[in-house]
């Protein structure tokens, strides 16, 4: 089988023949249908993550995945062979030899959920990591209670899901985004600003990783949540500052997939390429400005 690997000696992902990953008792083996490329994948491939985390050499690439279960571990009782599923593999935490950018992969069953029949199996691969990050970031901000929220990068992958989930939860939501993204932001139920406001919002979800500059949009005593654990922001002016570190959660993934199937969460695909074309797609993600995720199809 083939898998994309990251080496410390090369900033370009390498496609190689590898042995199938081992199946543990609490795991499921998935024949990959599609796998999304995220900025964290680029950071692992280019070596930026190695500066903060001791990673094996090589390490498998890829967090998001959709596919069909081909084998289940002995302790798995709620998933079966043949199930259509989507999930995430925590590459930094588990440090796998094979990630999701591969012909097949192994994930903990607790990080996997069935894909609803109404949701396209390929497109489902763009959802788990980004939507789960948005959901868990919002949870760190607490109850909406009529509070105001600014989402930086509001038209991006994490930010776009955060807009919808926050509006559904009762937040008065505003996106920091481009004028060209106005239609998407409106569909998500949010207002739009194109320049950073100054100390007017009860909370900020900094999905664009603007860090200290995004903190300036929070009023005194407000709340801030970032999405880059390696670059935490210190609170000031009585602001509570936190950083989300996404944790696999099959129940939450199932709920988010359900919202996508109902059309509540907009599933955006920037493009589709084969595993052999992965380096070019990695370069597009590294360049930023993508609306949706590039998908790798084995």
Alpha-carbon distance 217 to 206, whole Å?
Answer: 10
Structural domains in the chain? 2-127+267-297 (3.90.180.10), 130-243 (3.40.50.720)
Residue 13: count of CB within 10 angstroms of its CB: 27
Which residue in 259, 288, 253 sits closest to 111, CA to CA?
253
State the Cα–Cα distance between residues 288 and 208, nearest whole angstrom: 11
Q: pTM for this one?
A: 0.95
| Of 250, 283, 275, 196, residue with least CA distance to 35 | 275
The confidence score (pLDDT) of residue 140 equals 97
- Looking at the chain, how many residues does it have? 298
pLDDT tens digits for the chain (298 residues)? 999 999 999 999 999 999 999 999 999 999 999 999 999 999 999 998 987 888 999 999 999 999 999 999 999 999 999 999 999 999 999 999 999 999 999 999 999 999 999 999 999 999 999 999 999 999 999 999 989 999 999 999 999 999 999 999 999 999 999 999 999 999 999 999 999 999 999 999 999 999 999 999 999 999 999 999 888 999 999 999 999 999 999 999 999 999 999 999 999 999 999 999 999 999 999 888 778 899 999 9
Predicted pLDDT of residue 113 = 98
């Amino acid at each position: 089988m083939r898998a994309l690997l990251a080496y410390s000696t090369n900033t370009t992902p390498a496609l190689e023949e590898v042995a199938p990953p081992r199946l543990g008792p609490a795991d499921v083996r998935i024949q990959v249908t599609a796998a999304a490329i995220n900025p964290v994948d680029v950071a692992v491939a280019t070596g930026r993550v190695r500066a903060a985390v001791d990673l094996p050499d090589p390490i498998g690439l890829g967090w998001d995945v959709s596919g069909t279960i081909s084998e289940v571990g002995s302790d798995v009782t709620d998933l079966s062979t043949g199930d259509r599923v989507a999930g995430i593999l925590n590459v930094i935490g588990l440090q796998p030899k094979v990630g999701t950018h591969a012909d097949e992969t192994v994930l903990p069953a607790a990080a996997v959920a069935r894909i609803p029949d109404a949701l396209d199996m390929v497109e489902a691969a763009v959802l788990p990591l980004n939507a789960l990050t948005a959901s868990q970031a919002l949870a760190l901000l607490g109850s909406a209670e009529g509070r105001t929220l600014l989402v930086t990068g509001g038209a991006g992958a994490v930010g776009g899901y955060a807009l919808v989930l926050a509006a559904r939860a009762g937040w008065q939501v505003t996106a920091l985004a481009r004028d060209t993204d106005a239609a998407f932001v409106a569909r998500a139920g949010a207002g739009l600003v194109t320049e950073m406001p100054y100390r007017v919002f009860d909370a900020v979800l900094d999905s664009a990783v603007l860090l200290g500059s995004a903190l300036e949009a929070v009023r005194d005593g407000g709340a801030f949540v970032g999405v880059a654990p390696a670059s935490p922001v210190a609170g000031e002016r009585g602001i509570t500052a936190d950083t989300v570190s996404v944790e696999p959660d099959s129940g939450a993934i199932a709920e988010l997939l359900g919202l996508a199937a109902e059309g509540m969460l907009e599933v955006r695909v920037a493009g589709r390429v084969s595993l052999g074309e992965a380096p070019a797609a990695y370069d597009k993600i590294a360049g930023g400005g993508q609306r949706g995720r590039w998908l790798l199809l084995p």
